[in-house]
Chains A and B, each alone.
Chain A
Amino acid sequence: LAKTTQPISMDSYEGQEVNITCSHNNIATNDYITWYQQFPSQGPRFIIQGYKTKVTNEVASLFIPADRKSSTLSLPRVSLSDTAVYYCLVGVSHDMRFGAGTRLTVKP
């Protein structure tokens, strides 16, 4: 199972772009990179998933370099409601495991 490393916490201000980087040096050829968001007292919610290059949806962008040993979740113009824990997972289906995540705090 691929291990991931991401910052424990990050602070930002409303309206800023936030980039959270995840390291996964032992990613396997068939592994996907998936990000989830978790608010207090709720289960995690899927944000975005990618395999290589760049993926964008209505919520976020995911940048994956050619070697795939890291990935960056980009949240444009964050608001107070984006305060949450963000998890980076690497693997395929049930082989993925949640780490400790990055606690993002957005300040006014």
Chain B
Amino acid sequence: GAGVSQSPSNKVTEKGKDVELRCDPISGHTALYWYRQSLGQGLEFLIYFQGNSAPDKSGLPSDRFSAERTGGSVSTLTIQRTQQEDSAVYLCASSFPGQGYSNQPQHFGDGTRLSIL
């Protein structure tokens, strides 16, 4: 079946421009996550959606970053007035929701490689 799809796979833009990154989760997965990964580093949590609401936005690094999710499916991560330090791979993951204290594995896309010139 189809996995998590992210687009574009690569994005090069000039400093100060706005960018939108898209994530199509696996059908039926109500939980959706965005992460950022700088070269050679681990994954940095950005935001978590359950359905269309985002109960945990604690990882968004500044107010230039925002994300939304519509129809409980597609999500977009928007970075306004991009800076060179925003250059990284942005990864999206989705999962079924945990039931009580259970834990559902996250399924990842291959990310969008963002380069700010």
**Do A and B interact with each other, yes or no?**
yes
How many interface contacts (CB-CB < 8 Å) are there between A and B? 57
Check B42–A45 contact: CB distance below 8 A.
no
Q: Tell me whether chain A's interface is mostly helix, strand or loop, or mixed.
A: loop
| A41 and B110 contacting across the interface, CB-CB below 8 Å | yes
Q: Considering the chains assembled together, what is the distance between the CA atoms of A91 and B110 in angstroms?
A: 24
Please state if A93 and B42 are interface contacts (CB–CB under 8 Å): no
Evaluate contact between A100 and B105: CB separation under 8 angstroms. Answer: no
- Expressed in whole angstroms, the minimum distance between the Cβ of A65 and any Cβ of chain B is 19
List 14 other contacts, CB 8 Å, given A46-B105, A94-B55: A30-B101, A32-B103, A34-B103, A34-B105, A36-B106, A42-B110, A44-B43, A44-B106, A46-B107, A94-B31, A94-B56, A98-B35, A98-B42, A101-B42
Residues of B within 8 A of A (CB): 4, 31, 33, 35, 41-45, 48, 50, 55-56, 91, 93, 95, 97-98, 101-111
